[in-house]
Amino acid sequence: MEMRDLFINRYKVFLLSVIAALLMASIPAPASGAAAANSKQGEPGFTKNVMDLDKEMVEKAQEALKPFINEEIEFEGVQYSHEIDGKKVPVLYSKAFRTVTNPVKGDKKIRAAAVAIKEQTGEVYEITLDPQLLSLDEGIRTKLKSTIKETDQNLSYDDIDTLSISGTSGEITAIGSYLLVFDSKSGKVRTAIYDVPMTQLNQETVQAVRQAVGALTSGKKLTFDSIQRLVVEGTDSYSFSEYEQSIIVWVDRATNKVEAIVWSKESPVSRSKEELKKKFAKPKYTAAQAIKTMNPMIKKIFGIDVTGYQVKVEDNNYTFLKKGSPSISAAINEKGKVYALTRELVAKSK
């Protein structure tokens, strides 16, 4: 696997949080009757009155809410803000909503419920609910509170703004000051992303991160702007981010070992994959030179000595391989400076 692919996989977890934010955006703000009447089909996110929809579709949306809410929801309007398979689908939103105030973002309206549904088939694509809704099914509320506490005792149910329920998988996503995705039946957590204060971390983790940053940056001492716990696809790690230098360090939560570190500010300048290949058509280092140059840094960051390893070179990526041992990948910039390293947790063969 190439270095860029490894980092793409690690960035997937951040994409999940972006997707979650988009789900929240699918619940439109209240629209006046005049605004709905003046909206035209084909406009981005156009709105129309719920009375203009097929009655059977509205009934299906209300039916879809019954397992989750112990009351009948009155829909106020429809907005075509979701796109599925290249087609806009209606999002029916409730008349009832509440307003919350964020000191930074200002006021935000949270709908009691919204349902995204496919017009052609009547299939429910997504349901969003207000977690503070009094009529929310108590079984769901209890399971969610239990899942939150099992994930981290410091997380609070009250910090959730929206619940998003997949119409196909049944997964429930809790969205607020943190992100939590879990199976609605088993309660098993699939994804969790939330901030962690430095005081909650053990010193072994902190020391591993500081040593990695020092090794990569030739001794820079940085203060991290963000520390998050990331649980996704069977992995559980911490990410440490420093914004000015654009440095991110990933540490395995169970072992306190560094998984990867990237210094984006020092990455090569290229506008395309082809340009990058052209820049590094001639390898900067031979296998022996790569080991000699990078081994001291690799030992400090990962505690692994790559002396005697096979070296695979592709563009600006250098991968150190040895049968039965974890592989190490390093990426360099135009000056030959290492700006990113990652350790494969699964041993690879030659």
pLDDT at 34: 42
pTM value is 0.79
Out of 11-25, 74-88, 169-183, give the one with best mean pLDDT.
Answer: 169-183
pLDDT at 270: 83
pLDDT band at 45, cuts 50/70/90? low
CB atoms < 10 A from the CB of 73, how many?
23
Collapsed DSSP state (helix, strand, coil) of residue 123: coil
Q: Which residues pair with 313 in a beta bridge?
A: 318
What percent of the chain shows pLDDT beyond 70? 85
The token pair that represents 48 in the structure block: 């129309």
**Residue 347 CA: distances (Å) to CA of 46, 235, 325, 327:** 52, 16, 5, 7
Q: Which long-range contacts (CB under 8 A, 24 or more apart) does 204-212 make?
A: 204/256, 205/238, 205/251, 205/253, 205/256, 208/251, 208/256, 208/257, 208/258, 209/240, 209/249, 209/251, 209/258, 211/300, 211/301, 212/249, 212/258, 212/261, 212/300, 212/301
Higher-pLDDT residue of 21 and 197 is 197
Can you give the pLDDT at residue 21? 40
CA distance 63 to 115: 11
Quick one: average pLDDT of 37-43?
46
Residue of 234, 233, 238 whose CA lies nearest to 256: 238
Q: Where are the domains of the chain?
A: 3-195, 196-266, 268-350
| pLDDT confidence bin for 48, thresholds 50/70/90 | low
State pLDDT tens for residues 101-157.
877 778 888 899 999 988 778 889 899 999 999 999 999 999 999 999 999 999 999
CB 162 within 8 A of CB 175: yes
Pick the range with the lowest mean pLDDT from 39-43, 226-230, 267-271.
39-43
